[in-house]
Amino acid sequence: MAEFAWSFLQKRALSEVVRLGERPRRGSNAAREAMRPVRHHRTIFISDVHLGTRGCKAEALVDFLSRNQCQTLYLVGDIVDGWRLKYRWFWPEAHSRVVQEILRKIDSGTRVIYVPGNHDEIFRTYCGREVAGIEISREAVHETADGKQLLVIHGDHFDAVIAYAKWLAHLGDWAYTVALQLNEWCHFGRRILGLNYWSLSAYLKQKVKNALEYICRFEEAVANDVRARGFDGVVCGHIHHAAIKTLSGVIYHNDGDWVESCTALVEDARGHLEILRWADAGLRPLTIPAEHATDELPEAIPA
Ligand SMILES: [Mn+2]
């Protein structure tokens, strides 16, 4: 089914180029563009786009949205970063194009459900309403093609449950690499001042470990709550760390983010879910094995 849709859409994309009368030269950009396939999914879940911030990979997301179609699109929170926009207005054209791509999906029949997060909590005021064809909801229940009931939430309210200092999670592995160099200078400086050796890199390594602990505790807290509520699984975002795994007898899905990893969670016609990483400026989708996704060091984790 997916393969059929893929080749059908690919043919259509090609015929559109021909209809425009500009016969694409072999190897030209237009020909390459037209050859790039459009994939069809039953459902797409994305979150943590953080529109309105410099970190948002809007171009990659526009590319992803235009190359991936679906019956239902879930926006799983932190789509717009209201916190940051309140301090400084930042809205390049690519950010508007993300909104346009979402609206275009609605026009072509996609159902769009928006579950606001903490950075776009302003939209929580409108839960239960429909704005520009987008259904806004505090949480949603998605039934997969094979009948599983998945709770769709952003996940920020578990920060309070796990009671963990969120700033600890902000350090990624890049910071650790920088820290190794800084550590040398720090050690040199302290020696001049006659102070004892103190390892900055060991300090930061501990922070990275804490970040991993934060992720584990978040995942466990979410899974336990979802099991207690009787769902088969959960789809969430918030910690910018894509994963699919079984925890406490439920399936935990995290759709990642569009600040660092450019990941989305997609469901096919049979109810199979996988994580897509829109790698390298969105040129090709890569499937990352879910069990490895959690082994990586965390990237920037949101507050
Ligand atoms: Mn969040």
Give residue 196 CA to ligand 1 midpoint distance, Å.
Answer: 40
Is 23 among the domain residues?
no
What is the residue whose two structure tokens read 């950009």?
29
Question: What is the whole-number distance in angstroms between the Cα of residue 155 and the centre of ligand 1?
Answer: 7
Cα 74 to ligand 1 centroid, rounded to whole Å: 15
Instruction: Evaluate whether residue 144 is within a structural domain.
Output: yes
155 pLDDT higher than 90? yes
Interval between CA 214 and ligand 1 midpoint (Å):
14
Q: Is the pLDDT of residue 291 over 50?
A: no
For residue 192, report the distance from its CA to the centre of ligand 1, in Å: 43
pLDDT at position 233, please?
A: 98
CA of 238 relative to ligand 1 center, distance in Å: 4
Task: Please give the distance, rounded to the nearest whole angstrom, from the Cα atom of residue 78 to the centre of ligand 1.
Answer: 5
How many whole angstroms from 154 Cα to the centroid of ligand 1?
7
By the CB criterion, residues less than 5 angstroms from ion ligand 1 are 78, 117-118, 156, 238, 302
Could you report the per-residue pLDDT of 222-256, keeping only the tens digit for each?
999 999 999 999 999 999 999 999 999 999 999 99
Alpha helices in the chain (DSSP H): 2-19, 29-35, 58-67, 82-87, 93-107, 158-162, 173-192, 200-228, 279-282, 290-293
Whether residue 16 is contained in a domain is answered as no
What pLDDT was estimated at residue 2?
41
Which one has a higher pLDDT value, 184 or 153?
153
- Domain annotation covers residue 17: no
For the chain, the average pLDDT equals 80
Give residue 84's pLDDT. Answer: 84
Q: Taking residues 34-59, report their average pLDDT.
A: 91
Report CA(121)–ligand 1 centroid distance (Å). 9
Query: Does a structural domain hold residue 213?
Result: yes
**Rounded Cα distance, 58 and 52, in Å:** 10
Q: Beta-carbon neighbour count of residue 93 at 10 Å?
A: 7
Domain assignment of residue 10, yes or no: no
Burial (Cβ within 10 Å: 0-12, 13-18, ≥19) of residue 16? exposed
What is the CA(119)–ligand 1 centre distance, in A? Answer: 6
β-strand pairing of 140-143 with 149-152: antiparallel
Number of folded domains that form the chain: 1
| pLDDT over 50 (residue 13) | no
Nearest residue to 42 (alpha-carbon basis) of 8, 74, 70, 6:
70
Task: Please tell me the distance from the alpha carbon of residue 135 to that of residue 96, in angstroms, as a whole number.
Answer: 19
301: in domain:
no
pTM of the model: 0.73
Rounded to the nearest whole angstrom, what is the distance from the C-alpha of residue 116 to the centroid of ligand 1? 9
Find the CATH number of the domain harbouring 92: 3.60.21.10
**Ligand 1: centre distance to CA 215 (Å):** 13
How many Å lie between the centroid of ligand 1 and the Cα of residue 180? Answer: 30
Q: For the chain, give me the number of helices (H) and strands (E)?
A: 10, 13
pLDDT of res. 292 = 39
The Cα 249–Cα 301 span in angstroms is 26
CA–centroid distance, 280 to ligand 1, in Å, is 24
Over 80: is that where the pLDDT of 88 sits?
yes
Q: How remote is the CA of residue 23 from the centroid of ligand 1, in Å?
A: 46
| CA 174 – ligand 1 centroid, Å | 21
Range of the domain at 226: 38-293
Please state, for a pLDDT cut of 70, what percent of the chain lies above it: 68
Q: For residues 236 and 46, give the distance between their C-alpha atoms in angstroms, rounded to a whole number.
A: 9
Instruction: Name the residue among 228, 226, 171, 230 with its Cα closest to residue 203.
Output: 171
14 belongs to a structural domain: no
Give me ligand 1 centre to Cα 93, in Å.
23
